[in-house]
Amino acid sequence: MKQAELITAVAKKTGLTARGAKDAVQAVFATIQGSLAKGDSVRTTLGTFGIGKRGARQGRNPRTGESIKIKASRTIRFKASKPLKDKVNKR
């Protein structure tokens, strides 16, 4: 499902206009992004969005085979909730 399809589905389920649904969906995404940028986790009925840390490590350039240093970084993690897992596995 693309974002445009999600907006259409939200509009149909809530009775909002397409513009209102678009604003609502974008506001939810912006709020999640803002919280993650601050390092906070976000818990929803779908699951928990959080920040994970990757340590610095050695890598290899696949083109040349040369050894390179990969810097430590932060990444986004998502852990699905039990109700979501159950619904997906019900098929």
- Same domain (yes/no): 15, 33: yes
Alpha-carbon distance values, 15 to 4, 21, 87 (Å)? 16, 9, 25
- Same domain (yes/no): 36, 2: yes
- Same domain (yes/no): 14, 36: yes
- Same domain (yes/no): 32, 7: yes
Count how many domains the chain has. 2
Strand-pair partners of 11: none
3-state percent breakdown (helix, strand, coil) of the chain, nearest 5:
45, 30, 25
Residue span of the structural domain in which 5 resides: 1-40
Which tokens in the block code for residue 25?
Answer: 């969906």
- Same domain (yes/no): 27, 48: no
- For 63-80, write each residue's pLDDT tens digit: 999 999 999 999 999 999
Question: Do the beta carbons of residue 32 and residue 41 sit within 8 Å?
Answer: no
- For 7-18, write each residue's pLDDT tens digit: 999 999 999 999
**pTM for the model:** 0.77
- Same domain (yes/no): 4, 47: no
- For 31-54, write each residue's pLDDT tens digit: 999 999 999 999 999 999 999 999
> DSSP 3-state assignment of 43?
strand
- Same domain (yes/no): 83, 62: yes
pLDDT at 90: 86
